A and B are shown apart, each in its own frame.
Chain A
Amino acid sequence: MATYSTSEFKGGLKIMLDGDPCSIIENEFVKPGKGQAFNRVKIRNLKTGRVIERTFKSGESIEAADVMEVQLQYLYNDGEFWYFMDPDSFEQHSADAKAVSESEKWLKDQDICTITLWNGTPLSVEAPNFVTLTIVETDPGLKGDTSGGGGKPATLETGAVVRVPLFVQNGEAIKVDTRTGQYVSRVKD
């Protein structure tokens, strides 16, 4: 079992805490001049996303979490799992709804996503920051409107709904920022 001593603590380090994989956000070394040293740590639980605090005695060892981030290509969804493939080894991974979570509405086949694996199983799925998706349904635009002011809802091929400028039409491809869910631009072939 791999372990880390408190001296190795830093932002981004993945440790096991109460049975869950966690990522250290912030580590503060606390020590009275003539007394016991502590590490006061802010930690994100990678399963629940919750941020908690924890104090360790300096010098303690903590179990390491086998967590890594990989770039995988999205293949398809069979109604229960979302399937991803390593483009180099062709190894496939299946992620459940909990791991895919909010990213689901941005997943388009062949896009490269960032997957966090814990003991080889997807823990979370992050869509690319920008995706190009085709509009499958939106109201007809008004003639002459080029400003984009106001806007209208548009349903995309993945089911996501974003606000787009009035001049954008059905069947057009658009670029969306998945972090904010906002329209960026039209995409011409």
Chain B
Amino acid sequence: MEVDTPACSIAAVTDPAIESLKTAYTGPGAPTGRQLYLHTSPEFGMKRLLASGVGPIYQICKVFREGEAGRLHNPEFTLLEWYQPGYDHHRLMDEMEALIQAVLSEPCPVRRLSYGQLFEDILGFNPYPAGSEELRRVAVDQGIAGASALALPDRDAWLDLLMSHCIEPRLGSGMCFVYDYPASQASLARIRQGEPPVAERFELYLDGIELANGFHELGDHAEQRRRFQADLECRQERGQVNPPVDSRLLDALEAGLPDSSGVALGIDRLLMCITGAAHISEVLAFPFDRA
């Protein structure tokens, strides 16, 4: 079922790596004014619907991110997001693969490998236990200019550096699904206990471009509350402003989220891949600098 959830909310995402654009409303219902946050994905609203028992849902909508503009980024962009109750992240990858094959003019090769395998294959080391200093050494050995002087906040940022500078450019053409992320990068995905514990999260790369991010959704409201809290503490440490936490989402999770998986696909980047565009502005009528 196609759904529509609010783009403006009094609560916002807490992820330290994602900033919301802000706006304000004053008038009937909020005579003294109310701070509003533009959604960075429709995830919270859609999960509230899932918890109410609507079944499988999808939505295509504009989302907004503060501070993100470049070759692959426009502050306002389009997501296709959908949720499938009863699916785990592998079954959702199957569905995603079929969707992408259907919109490409020619069948494209597909690979699936775990985050750990990907690092082993391309960089020759196991990323899960690696600490910041080891990761810095790898970055220097890989010839990332300036790596020795970079001051990054945590090991995940070092992993992001290696992923974006060394791995993405070597993914080659076709689809590449990467799954089982380090537990520290779980975001809103379930963590599967094991050695090491991993997040049941996946990303889809098409021709080396990050196109989609999916989760086997975390349904445990207490765990979700702890992660929000940890995000806020991290933001505080880094001097970032803390947005209000979405208590309605937490209430919905407490009422019960069906076991489900969900994914968000960047439509603009998919269009870039299909048309061979080098810059996201080529697939937008009026990109950011002309909006």
Interface residues of B (CB under 8 A from A): 15, 17-18, 67-73, 144-147, 150-153, 156-157, 159-161, 163-165, 185, 187, 203, 210, 213
Question: Given contacts A37-B68, A55-B145, A57-B150, is CB(A32)–CB(B18) below 8 Å?
Answer: no
Complex interface: stretch among A23-31, A84-92, A149-157, A169-177: A23-31
Cross-chain contact B145 with A29 (CB below 8 angstroms): no
In-complex Cβ contact of A32 among B70, B144, B151, B164 (8 A) = B164
Q: Which residue, A29, A32, A56, A60, has most C-beta atoms of chain B within 10 A?
A: A32
Residue in contact with B164 in the complex, picked from A7, A30, A56, A60, CB distance below 8 Å? A30
Closest 8 A/B residue pairs (Cβ): A29-B70, A35-B160, A36-B157, A36-B160, A54-B146, A53-B145, A55-B146, A54-B145
**B-contact bits for A28-59, CB 8 A (1 contact / 0 none):** 11111111111010000000000011111110
Other-chain residue from A7, A36, A55, A57 in contact with B67 (beta carbon distance below 8 A): A7
Q: How many angstroms between the C-alpha atoms of A40 and B150 in the bound complex?
A: 12
A38 adjacent to B164 (CB under 8 Å) = yes
Given contact pairs A28-B71, A55-B146, enumerate 10 new A-B contacts (beta carbons under 8 Å): A29-B70, A30-B70, A31-B68, A31-B164, A33-B210, A36-B160, A37-B17, A38-B164, A40-B165, A55-B165
Q: Determine the distance from Cα of A33 to Cα of B156 in the docked complex, in whole angstroms.
A: 13
17 A-B contact pairs sorted by A residue (CB < 8 Å): A28-B70, A29-B68, A29-B70, A29-B71, A29-B72, A30-B165, A32-B17, A32-B210, A34-B18, A34-B185, A35-B156, A36-B160, A36-B161, A38-B160, A40-B165, A56-B146, A56-B150
What's the Cα separation between A160 and B153 when bound, in Å? Answer: 56
Query: Chain A residues near B68 (CB, 8 Å)?
Result: 29, 31, 37
CA distance A169 to B152 in the complex (A): 67
Specify which chain A residues have a CB less than 8 angstroms from the CB of B187 in the assembled complex. 34
Please tell me if the beta carbons of A36 and B17 are within 8 angstroms of each other in the complex.
Answer: yes
Inter-chain contacts of A56 with B (CB < 8 A): 146, 150
Contact A52 to B145, CB < 8 A, known contacts A37-B68, A38-B164: yes
Give the distance in Å from the alpha carbon of A37 to the alpha carbon of B163 in the complex: 12
Q: Number of contacting residues on A, CB 8 A?
A: 21
Within 8 Å CB of B73, what residues of A?
A: 29, 31
**Bound CA span A111–B261, Å:** 71
- Distance of A29 Cα from B67 Cα, bound (Å): 10
Smallest Cβ-Cβ distance to A7: which chain B residue: B67
- Contact A33-B146, Cβ < 8 Å, known A55-B165, A57-B152: no
Choice from B70, B151, B213 contacting A34 with Cβ under 8 Å? B213
Which residues of B are found within 8 Å of A57, using beta-carbon distances? 150-152, 157
CA distance A36 to B18 in the complex (A): 9
Using Cβ atoms and an 8 Å threshold, which residues of chain B touch A54? 145-146
Chain B, residue nearest A39 (CB): B70
Residues of A within 8 A of B153 (CB): 36
Q: With A and B bound together, what is the CA distance between A57 and B203 in angstroms?
A: 23
A30 to B150, CA, bound (A): 15
User: CA A82 – CA B68 in complex, angstroms?
Assistant: 47
Q: A178 → chain B, closest Cβ, in Å?
A: 33
